[in-house]
Chain A
């Protein structure tokens, strides 16, 4: 324990004294958040219409669905579609079996797209829903927090271990009674602590500056962040378990991070994407982290509601940790 704490404390000092990394970790997410606030906070160029139908193919496809510049998103669960309509995340819902549509009267886009529907298919019956819009910044904040956790965890552990191995730090530590388990635990715990601290600053900073939403419980958000960080530092450990080349590790880590950036609903929802993209997305730890944080922050979801995400994050952490520890080598590349 004493030995692990010694490495833990040294690693924390190293993190805080590396000014460029610290600044980057703190500044980058704020810059992104501000950038997206001004770019995507303006009018959305495309209309989104949810489609309810029990038929596999749209046999009697309404004329409305042939209009350009409207994205039609099929929903299996009507409840989820109505929730999104209430929050202005989609502009209209049409049920092409029952010839009905639902519009949110408080939505500007809803009004315009309703006029298009009525003009092209006047037989559709009108229904109303109500609800305030969720700002994009509220929606995207959990994504940016998740992205920050991902980059900091993967590169903070993966890259650091490979650098230590390459420049001989690991070799020197291996010549002491320090065990691999103690070394790995110290690295992971140090990084998790740093990541959670940094993301907490981002979270409270965004709340103070942009008055972002937080409906759910703080302890559950903290637990989700911890489990998300654990799964991602474990993935970083697995990537770095045996490698010596920093460049190669960088390539592998980029290969791991960029698909997650695109497929884990960090910047935009995956509605309308092919089914296999959704399935692939569910294999990524960042997806579960971001979805759980979003449900807690925007929907006020409780422990039971996000427990599936948390269970998957725990399972992924266990798998990555076990494999990473099994493959871990103090030396490099087959020595």
Chain B
């Protein structure tokens, strides 16, 4: 395990020391190695600009999250990085080189939606994909790594959602890649299967591999990603460590009260109505609660929470998710 890539804990304020140290390295004249470097990347479908002149780079060894509502351009971006889609314009470099077959042999891909050949068992499918690469991981190792040993002899079509996603991950790891693309890997999975999948990704990260993840589960991004970029309408509208972004956009905590508690009167504190509740943002929770009690506002149904990426996502992209 690469010492500077170690993730300290799940949830809450994640801290990737590699990113934290980046300014120091740069000020000392060091250059962090980049697994992906993108310059003015654009993809157009006729009049529609799906990806609009994106420029960014991703340092080695981190989990980079590409977030955004449906239709934001995440999958188009990731498929251009994977070499599946041809950009309309712009430049992509992987491991500092222009993308070639040789470079792609260091890349592993898990697509958002994919099917496999019918009537093949899990181990047979892995064996077939292993034959495509020069130095593949052994099938047993892959089965073990992705917790698939028990269903190795099962028809791949009959796997559960979680098992299927783990098999697709195993396929992405067949060539022991240095960079792995995961496009919405837990979509449609139940909470337990999602958490099992997160553990697998954490194990892969622990091996020092770089991961690019797209997801619209903000909790997933918050748990797994060291660095996130939020996309909307084909552009990156915000980028940074999840904790740093939350600190930048939210001061204090959010107090939620049922909306009927405020009806017909002033509660003496600025608030915003959000659906069936009102939201008060405060840095001084004790004072706010005292104020509410002095105004005889009932506290039944009250919730106090820290802002998370869901809140940031909604704040940046708007409340209405585009289909």
* Contacts from A to B (Cβ < 8 Å): 2-3, 5-7, 9-11, 13-14, 17-18, 164, 167-169, 171-172, 174-178, 331, 335
Bound-complex Cα distance A6 to B130 (A): 9
Chain B 78-105 interface 0/1 with A at a Cβ cutoff of 8 Å (1 = within)? 0000111100000000000000010011
28 of the cross-chain contacts (CB-CB < 8 Å) are A2-B131, A3-B132, A6-B128, A6-B130, A6-B132, A9-B128, A10-B120, A10-B128, A11-B117, A13-B124, A17-B118, A17-B119, A18-B119, A169-B114, A169-B115, A169-B116, A171-B111, A171-B114, A172-B114, A175-B82, A175-B83, A175-B84, A176-B132, A176-B133, A177-B101, A177-B104, A177-B105, A177-B132
Please, which residue of chain B has its CB at the minimum distance from the CB of A335? B85
CB distance from B94 to the nearest CB of A (A): 14
A280 to B268, CA, bound (A): 90
Asked if residues A14 and B118 are in contact (CB atoms below 8 Å), the reply is: yes
List the 6 closest A-B pairs by CB distance, nearest first. Answer: A6-B131, A17-B119, A167-B115, A176-B132, A168-B114, A175-B109
Q: Kindly list chain A residues whose C-beta atoms are within 8 Å of the C-beta of B119.
A: 13-14, 17-18
* Neighbouring B residues of A7 by C-beta, 8 Å: 128
How many angstroms between the C-alpha atoms of A264 and B147 in the bound complex?
55
Min distance, Cβ B77 to any Cβ of chain A, angstroms: 16
Q: Is B113 an interface residue (CB 8 A)?
A: yes
A250 to B120, CA, bound (A): 25
Do B115 and A14 have beta carbons less than 8 Å apart?
no
Q: Name B's A-contacting residues (CB within 8 A).
A: 82-85, 101, 104-105, 109, 111, 113-120, 124-125, 127-133, 171
Complex: A177 Cα to B83 Cα, angstroms: 12
**B residues in contact with A14, CB < 8 Å:** 117-120
Return A189 CB to nearest CB of chain B, in Å: 15
Q: Which residues of A contact B127 (CB under 8 A)?
A: 6
Chain B residues, CB < 8 A from A169: 114-117
CA distance A10 to B117 in the complex (A): 8
Q: Which residue of A lies closest to B171 (CB)?
A: A172
Cβ contacts under 8 Å, B109 to chain A:
175
| CB neighbours of B132 from chain A (8 A) | 3, 6, 176-178
Given contacts A17-B119, A177-B105, contact A5 B131 (CB under 8 A): yes
Minimum distance in angstroms from B31 CB to a CB of chain A: 30
How far is B126's CA from A6's CA once the two chains are assembled, in angstroms?
Answer: 11
Most buried by A among B85, B111, B116, B132: B132
Which residues does chain B contribute within 8 Å of A17, judged by CB atoms? 118-119
B120 to A13, Cβ gap below 8 A? yes
Q: Do A176 and B115 have beta carbons less than 8 Å apart?
A: no
Which B residues are in CB contact (< 8 Å) with A2? 131
Contact B84 A171 (CB under 8 A): yes
Which residues from chain A contact B133 at a C-beta distance below 8 Å?
176-177
Q: In the complex, given contacts A6-B128, A13-B124, what are 11 additional A-B residue pairs having Cβ atoms less than 8 angstroms apart? A: A3-B131, A5-B131, A10-B120, A168-B113, A168-B115, A169-B115, A169-B116, A175-B84, A175-B109, A178-B132, A331-B84
Complex-state Cα separation, A7 to B105, whole angstroms = 19
CA distance A56 to B114 in the complex (A): 65
Q: Which residue of B lies closest to A6 (CB)?
A: B131
CA distance A17 to B109 in the complex (A): 28
Nearest Cβ distance between residue A321 and chain B, in whole angstroms?
23
Which residues of B sit under 8 angstroms from A9, Cβ to Cβ?
128
